[in-house]
Amino acid sequence: MEHLTFLVNSGEKLQNVKAYFHPDLANDIVKFSLCFGTKTLFITVNEDDSLQLSFESSDKGLLKKEVNMAEDTVWLGAANKPIRWGWKMVNSSGFTDGIQLEFAESVSELSFTLQFIAVASRIQIYEVSESNGS
């Protein structure tokens, strides 16, 4: 969690995203790198389907693809915004298999929230939307 705390406190904005794919499974994302200026956050799925956060990582053997945030609707709402809140999600078996990040400039601004969930040794990303309660 110290990685998320550091990024929230720094206020640095998301500048760049890269997706890393398993070499034998071209559609399976196994790691994301989120560049916030001076720090890059790596979100990696482990063999036990848990997620790991770090500021250092190796891409050895992985296929890397830069994400065009201006064209990818999943990332468009997070582009050039800082993380306002971050959550570690723990499943019923005790594994950290999800991370939720909320992007916004301030508490008065409408936020944009993404979830990264470990599913079958890959990372699935979800956009979270607010319900009006009905």
Contact 45, 62 (CB under 8 A): no
Residue 90: inside a domain: yes
Place of tokens 């830069």: 66
Residue 121: inside a domain: yes
Render each residue's pLDDT in the chain as its tens digit; 134 residues. Answer: 789 999 999 999 999 999 999 888 888 899 999 999 899 999 999 888 899 999 998 777 788 888 887 788 889 899 999 999 999 999 998 988 999 999 999 888 889 999 999 998 899 999 998 776 65
Residue 50: inside a domain: yes
What's the rounded Cα separation, in Å, for the pair 34 and 104? 15
Residue 32: inside a domain: yes
Count: domains in the chain = 1
Is the pTM higher than 0.75?
A: yes
CA angle 132, 123, 29 (to 5 degrees): 130
Residue 13: inside a domain: yes
Residue 134: inside a domain: no
Domain that holds residue 66: 2-128
Residue 51: inside a domain: yes
Residue 29: inside a domain: yes
